[in-house]
Amino acid sequence: MISETLQNAINEQIKAELDSSYLYLAMAAWCESVNFKGFAKWFEKQAEEENAHAKRFYEYLVDRGGRVILKGLDTPPADFGSVEKAFQQTLDHERHVTARINKIYDMARNEKDFATQEMLNWFVKEQVEEEATAEEMLAQTRMAEGRPGNLLYLDRHAGKRGDA
Ligand SMILES: [Fe+2]
Ligand SMILES: [Fe+2]
């Protein structure tokens, strides 16, 4: 059985993952509103991944005999200003999530809860990917700044995310 401290931390993390999903869905909706269909699709995929992360924590908590308690989500912004700014916010957000996961890892280590550490290893690796992807998208959109043709090219490319 999982400790109450870790149970609370994982419940907070379920909320954080769903907040991430909600934030990226808001970015997708904003991209739609300015006709960047490709970036919109990219953010939709990102939102789906965050839902899967929440589900992963949810299932782990159930498996460990913990109680899942859902919390209200934060209202995301409706306007992101530019695609570049949206990716800057994506990177900042992913860094924030990494810090949260590291904190839970530290708690699990102090408690000698090896199962939770093992579960979190997947997330530690996933966050390396998440930050790298956000950094890449930010760098590319930054390079396309002031060049609408390049930004449209990136939009089309981003829309292919997840296609084989
Ligand atoms: Fe996540
Ligand atoms: Fe993420």
Report residue 114's pLDDT band, with 50, 70 and 90 as the boundaries.
very high
Q: What distance in angstroms lies between residue 4's CA and the mean position of ligand 2's atoms? A: 25
pLDDT, tens digit (0-9, with 9 covering 90-100), for 6-23: 999 999 999 999 999 999
For ligand 2, the distance from its centroid to the CA atom of residue 127, given in whole angstroms, is 7
Confidence of residue 33 (pLDDT cuts 50, 70, 90): very high
Name the CATH topology of 4-158: Ferritin (1.20.1260)
Task: Find tokens 């449209």 and name the residue.
Answer: 152
Quote the ligand 2 centre to 96 CA distance (angstroms): 10
Query: Cα(35)–Cα(56) distance, rounded to whole angstroms?
Result: 33
User: Over the stretch 53-68, which tens digit does the pLDDT of each residue have?
Assistant: 999 999 999 999 999 9
Cα 17 to middle of ligand 1, angstroms: 5
Return mean pLDDT, the chain.
Answer: 97
Ligand lying nearest the CA atom of residue 52: 1
Ligand 2 mean position, distance from CA 90 (Å): 8
Radius of gyration of the chain, Cα coordinates, nearest whole angstrom: 17
Report the predicted TM-score, pTM, of the whole model to 2 decimal places. Answer: 0.95
Ion ligand 2 — residues with CB < 5 Å = 130
Q: How far apart are CA 65 and CA 71, in angstroms?
A: 19
Spacing, Cα 107 to ligand 2 middle (Å): 21
Do 7 and 58 touch, CB atoms closer than 8 A? no
56 alpha carbon – ligand 2 mean position (Å) = 13
Q: What is the DSSP string of 112-146?
A: T-HHHHHHHHHHHHHHHHHHHHHHHHHHHHHHTTT
Sign of CA pseudo-dihedral 139, 140, 143, 144: negative
The domain ranges of the chain are 4-158
The full DSSP string for 95-117 is: HHHHHHHHHHHHHHHHTT-HHHH
Report pLDDT digits (tens) over 71-108.
999 999 999 999 999 999 999 999 999 999 999 999 99
pLDDT at 163: 79
